[in-house]
C-alpha cells in the first residue's frame, strides 16, 4: 500500500500540470468561440432584433438606458468610451441621434454607422386633437417610432442582417438562418394583428399621452389620439377639449408610457371615470410586448 501511495504522489505533479494546460487551452478556445462582434444600438428594441439575428455571435451595447427617453437622452462618458470597441452602430432615427450621432461617429472613426430606418417613409408626429391620418400641416418633427410597425420592423431587420453579414462573412449562414426565423415570426405577428383588428366592431380610436403608436395605427387601420405635443403637456384649454373628446368617443382607457409623466393622462382618466394603462414602446422583448400592447389596445378601442 505504501508503494502504491508513493507511486501516486510521484505522478500527481505531472498529471496536475497536464490538467492545468488542458484547462488553459479549453478556456482559451471557449473565450475565442464566445467572442462576439461588438455592436451598439440606440434603443432596447434594436437590441432585440440584433441579438435575434446575431445570436451569441454579437455583443450589443445599448445607449438609451431603461426608463430613459430617446428624445432627451445624453450618453454618459463611459458609454462613449465603450464605443471604441464597436464595429457597427445601428441608428434608428430617434431624436437624441440628431445631436449625438456625429459625436458617436467621431468616437470611433472605424465604426460603421447603419441607419436601420433607411428606406422607410416617415410621417409627422400626430398633434393633439388629430388622429394619425390627419397630421398637422407644416410640422417638421418626424415620427421616429418605426420599430412599432411589424412590416417596418422587417425592413430594419434586413438592414441589420446585411450589416452583420458584411462585417462577418464567415458567419453569414448563421445570421441568415436566424433572420429567416425572426422574419417568419414577424410575419406571423403581422397576420395575427390584422385578424385581431380587422374584426374590431365600432370605433377604432385609442387615446395616448405620447403619440408613439402612429406607425402601428397606420398598419392596422387605427387612430391614435395624442395628449401631448413635442414633449409638452397640454394647456388647460386643450386639456378640456381632450376630456370632452374622450367623453364623446366613449374612451375609458388612457395609454401612457413610463418614460413620460403620467400627470395629464391621470387628469383625463379621472375626469372621464377611466383608467391609465402603461404601453411601453421601448420594451426590450419586442415581440412579446407588441402582442401584449395590441391585445390591450383591442380591448380599449372606442
Task: Kindly indicate the confidence band of residue 288, based on its pLDDT and cuts at 50, 70 and 90.
Answer: very high
For residues 156 and 204, membership in a common domain is answered with no
pLDDT at 9 over 80: no
Using one digit for the tens of pLDDT, what is the confidence trace for 130-150?
444 444 444 458 999 999 999
What percent of the chain lies above the pLDDT cut of 70? 81
pLDDT at 265 over 50: yes
For residues 38 and 165, membership in a common domain is answered with yes
**In a domain? residue 2:** no
For residues 186 and 257, membership in a common domain is answered with no
For residues 174 and 232, membership in a common domain is answered with no
192, 208, 224 - which closes a domain: 192
**In a domain? residue 8:** no
**Strands annotated E in 100-241:** 112-115, 205-208, 223-226
**In a domain? residue 120:** yes
* Rounded Cα distance, 132 and 200, in Å: 18
**In a domain? residue 5:** no
For residues 64 and 176, membership in a common domain is answered with yes
pLDDT at 204 over 50: yes
Task: Kindly indicate the confidence band of residue 8, based on its pLDDT and cuts at 50, 70 and 90.
Answer: very low
Residues making up the chain, counted from first to last? 302
Q: Which residue shows C-alpha cell 436601420?
A: 116
The CATH number for 295's domain is 3.40.50.1980
What percent of the chain lies above the pLDDT cut of 90? 67
**In a domain? residue 176:** yes
Q: Is the dihedral of CA 219, 185, 277, 204 positive or negative?
A: positive
For residues 204 and 173, membership in a common domain is answered with no
Mean pLDDT of the chain: 85
Task: Kindly indicate the confidence band of residue 24, based on its pLDDT and cuts at 50, 70 and 90.
Answer: very low
Q: Which residue shows C-alpha cell 397630421?
A: 135
For residues 216 and 76, membership in a common domain is answered with no
Could you tell me if 40 and 75 are in contact, meaning their C-beta atoms sit under 8 angstroms apart? Answer: no
For residues 93 and 173, membership in a common domain is answered with yes
Instruction: Show the cell assigned to 198.
Output: 380587422
Q: 176: burial class by Cβ within 10 Å (0-12, 13-18, 19+)?
A: middle
**In a domain? residue 10:** no
* Residue 64 belongs to domain spanning: 34-129+141-192
For residues 60 and 180, membership in a common domain is answered with yes
**Strands annotated E in 120-159:** none
For residues 181 and 231, membership in a common domain is answered with no
For residues 39 and 176, membership in a common domain is answered with yes
For residues 186 and 214, membership in a common domain is answered with no
Using one digit for the tens of pLDDT, what is the confidence trace for 163-184?
999 999 999 999 999 999 999 9
Q: Of 111, 79, 91, 51, nearest to 286 (Cα)?
A: 51
**In a domain? residue 23:** no
Amino acid at each position: 500500500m505504501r508503494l502504491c501511495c508513493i507511486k501516486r504522489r510521484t505522478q500527481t505533479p505531472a498529471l496536475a500540470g497536464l490538467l492545468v494546460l488542458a484547462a488553459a487551452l479549453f478556456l482559451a478556445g471557449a473565450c475565442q468561440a464566445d467572442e462576439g462582434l461588438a455592436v451598439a444600438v440606440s434603443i432596447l428594441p434594436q437590441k432585440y432584433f440584433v441579438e435575434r439575428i446575431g445570436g451569441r455571435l454579437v455583443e450589443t451595447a445599448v445607449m438609451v438606458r431603461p426608463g430613459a427617453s430617446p428624445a432627451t437622452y445624453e450618453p454618459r462618458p463611459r458609454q462613449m468610451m465603450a464605443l471604441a470597441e464597436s464595429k457597427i452602430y445601428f441608428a434608428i432615427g430617434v431624436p437624441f441621434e440628431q445631436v449625438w450621432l456625429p459625436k458617436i461617429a467621431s468616437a470611433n472613426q472605424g465604426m460603421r454607422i447603419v441607419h436601420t430606418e433607411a428606406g422607410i417613409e416617415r410621417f409627422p408626429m400626430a398633434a393633439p386633437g388629430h388622429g394619425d391620418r390627419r397630421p398637422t400641416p407644416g410640422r417638421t418633427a418626424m415620427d421616429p417610432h418605426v420599430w412599432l410597425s411589424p412590416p417596418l420592423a422587417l425592413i430594419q431587420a434586413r438592414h441589420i442582417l446585411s450589416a452583420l453579414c458584411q462585417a462577418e462573412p464567415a458567419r453569414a449562414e448563421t445570421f441568415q438562418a436566424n433572420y429567416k426565423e425572426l422574419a417568419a415570426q414577424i410575419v406571423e405577428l403581422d397576420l395575427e394583428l390584422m385578424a385581431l383588428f380587422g374584426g374590431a366592431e365600432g370605433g377604432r380610436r385609442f387615446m395616448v399621452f405620447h403619440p408613439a403608436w402612429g406607425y402601428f395605427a397606420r398598419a392596422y387601420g387605427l387612430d391614435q389620439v395624442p395628449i401631448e405635443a413635442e414633449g409638452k403637456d397640454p394647456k388647460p384649454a386643450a386639456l378640456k377639449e381632450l376630456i370632452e373628446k374622450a367623453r364623446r368617443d366613449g374612451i375609458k382607457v388612457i395609454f401612457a408610457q413610463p418614460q413620460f409623466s403620467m400627470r395629464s393622462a391621470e387628469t383625463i382618466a379621472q375626469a372621464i371615470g377611466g383608467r391609465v394603462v402603461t404601453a411601453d414602446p421601448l420594451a426590450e422583448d419586442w415581440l412579446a410586448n407588441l402582442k401584449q400592447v395590441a391585445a390591450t389596445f383591442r380591448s380599449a378601442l372606442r
